[in-house]
């Protein structure tokens, strides 16, 4: 077999989610980072940072608790954002250390292709499992907000 994959364990703790949103890269970039947008489609969370390479970022949950934190590893608006990412409110996830989340925006046939890749070096990462459940709803809401001005689904409490 020529296609054995030595990186299978790494791939196990990766997800890649893609959505196409009829908007511009600039608007999508704003929506990904600005609190007034994220609060609407992302279960009430806000992200805070100056979004410069090397700067810290932090996410605050809707109830004011600290959610996740990390460092801005790459920031090339409105094309590419790479963040190191650690959960801070569930000890067993915090213990897994930093993961890496990449957001790529590529104009595609009148829309923007948004690809979110989230990886952990930990095999069978619990953090990856936890976030992979939430992203599809977040992305559907984001798409709906940008395309229609409303979110499709209010997050479950």
Cis peptide before 78 (omega within 30 of 0): yes
Report the greatest alpha carbon distance in the chain. 52
CB of 76 or CB of 147, closer to other proteins: 147
CB of 5 or CB of 36, closer to other proteins: 5
Q: According to CB under 8 A, which residues from 5 to 24 bind other proteins?
A: 5, 7-8, 11-12, 14-20
**Cβ pair 84, 74 in contact under 8 A:** no
Site string for other proteins, 130-149 (x = CB under 8 A): -----xxx-xx--x------
Cis peptide before 76 (omega within 30 of 0): no
CB of 20 or CB of 98, closer to other proteins: 20
Q: Is there binding between residue 152 and other proteins (CB under 8 A)?
A: yes
Strand partners, 14: 119
CB of 3 or CB of 63, closer to other proteins: 3
Among 60, 83, 115, 131, binds other proteins (CB under 8 A): 115
For residue 148, give both structure tokens. 């229609």
**DSSP run (H or E) holding 128:** helix 126-148
**Cβ pair 57, 49 in contact under 8 A:** yes
Q: Which residues bind other proteins (CB under 8 A)?
A: 1-5, 7-8, 11-12, 14-20, 115, 117, 135-137, 139-140, 143, 152-153, 156
């Amino acid at each position: 077999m020529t296609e054995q994959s030595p990186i299978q364990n790494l791939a196990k703790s990766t997800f890649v989610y893609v959505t196409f949103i009829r908007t511009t890269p600039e608007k999508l970039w704003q929506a990904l980072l600005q609190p007034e947008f994220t609060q609407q489609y992302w279960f009430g969370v806000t992200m805070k940072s100056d979004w410069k390479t090397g700067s810290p970022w932090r996410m605050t949950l809707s109830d004011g608790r600290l959610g996740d934190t990390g460092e801005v590893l790459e920031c090339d608006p409105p094309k590419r954002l790479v963040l190191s990412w650690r959960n801070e409110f569930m000890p067993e996830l915090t213990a897994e250390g930093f993961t890496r989340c990449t957001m790529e925006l590529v104009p595609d046939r009148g829309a923007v292709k948004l690809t979110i890749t989230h990886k952990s070096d930990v095999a069978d990462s619990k953090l990856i499992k936890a976030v992979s459940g939430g992203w599809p709803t977040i992305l559907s809401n984001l798409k709906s907000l940008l395309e229609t001005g409303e979110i499709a689904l209010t997050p479950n409490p």
